[in-house]
Structure 1
Amino acid sequence: MRSRSIRTIRRAELSKAAFEAVVLYGLRGTTLEKVGEIAGVSKGVVLHHFKDKSSLLEAVIRRTNGMLSTSLVELYRHAETPYERLWAIIIANFHESIFNQAVCQAWVSLMAEVPHNRSCQRVQIANYARVSSNFSHELKHFVTRDEAKIIARQLNLLIDGIWVRVGSRVEPLDSDRAIGDLEYFLMRFLPMDEESIQKHRAAREKIENVARIALGTRAFLETAMAR
């Protein structure tokens, strides 16, 4: 039991080091040797836990998706209404601790691996399905179930597009601007009478304040990064 725990910790450390390597060197420049250097271990230790670079990259993609899920779970703890849960999903994808040019750039590099790696494809398909399901579950409180599925898919595409633009250095966007872009989209597809507008504004403000406190702590970041 103890050896499994140590193995899990080591794999998490190596996937973290691999992600840092992708940020520093890009996907092509990331080697098992460089991952080992960042982690402070030999290439042999990296190979002991991951049979090749492909399996290591799969672990990195799982880790990046896991960071987003961890952020959402934390925000959900404080969300009490469908409005707040909807905004929790949006803000979890764009909180400044995760959404920045270096991380987006690494993510774009990792996505280039997905078409060539079936394991990575399965991980990413599952992640897209989870995000769409989360959105659909909350959107059905505002529109029909069929409309909720369509809007959820569009939101998923919009999130990916923003990450790609920032990661490709096509357009500099900060968290507030990115969240504002999704808000602009939502206002055209959800009921937006005066009462609804006020509820959305209050929900966004509350969840952003929660994220600023809960997701910005060292303890949370260390927990998220260690997964």
Structure 2
Amino acid sequence: MMITQNKETQAAMTPQAALKELKEGNQRFVGQQQISRNFNEQIQSTSTGQFPFATVLHCIDSRVSAEHIFDQGIGDLFSVRIAGNFVNEDILGSMEFATKLAGTKVILVLGHTACGAIKGACDHARMGNLTTLINKLEPAVEAVKEPKEEDQRTSKNIDFVNAVAKQNVLMTIENILKKSEVIRELVEDEDVLLVGGMYDISTGSVDFY
């Protein structure tokens, strides 16, 4: 049975080890070999403090839950969720807290295949407050140069959608480093790893990059 993260285990974990744990957790998830956990015990053991080892920025998509796909328990992850997994000031502030103050060792920006928000950006959808969100994702659409044909640059072309989703992850990483001096310094000092990944909703596997 996996112990709950505590101050000592968090302090002993390197950024590389934190990333390795995410990768191994996903392998357990895909292989249906998840660790047995007593969540009631974890509730009690984390009631006086939390010491997560990773921060995961991912989509609100109901099929993409970081705790499940990385086989983690209560107190292991900071989970930041927003449609399209992009950053704004509030999310950056949350991630700065998670790393600088709460001690997580890795930030993973996680996109996923067949993302509804990305599909909306590909189609330049407009509806209420969703319009503002879509506007933040459209730069990734413009950054993907192929295919050039307009009728292929829509949500009907799943290969294009997935290419945009990956590009959005890369651009989000760039934005984190550009807009957060706190995180940029942690990354430069090698205290935190900042990585990207794509979750395949058909296989459960995460491709890290």
Q: Do they fold alike, i.e. is TM over 0.5? A: no
Of Structure 1 and Structure 2, the greater helix share is in 1
Q: Which has the higher contact order (CA 8 A, sep 6+)?
A: 1
Of Structure 1 and Structure 2, the greater strand share is in 2
TM (normalized to structure 2)?
0.32
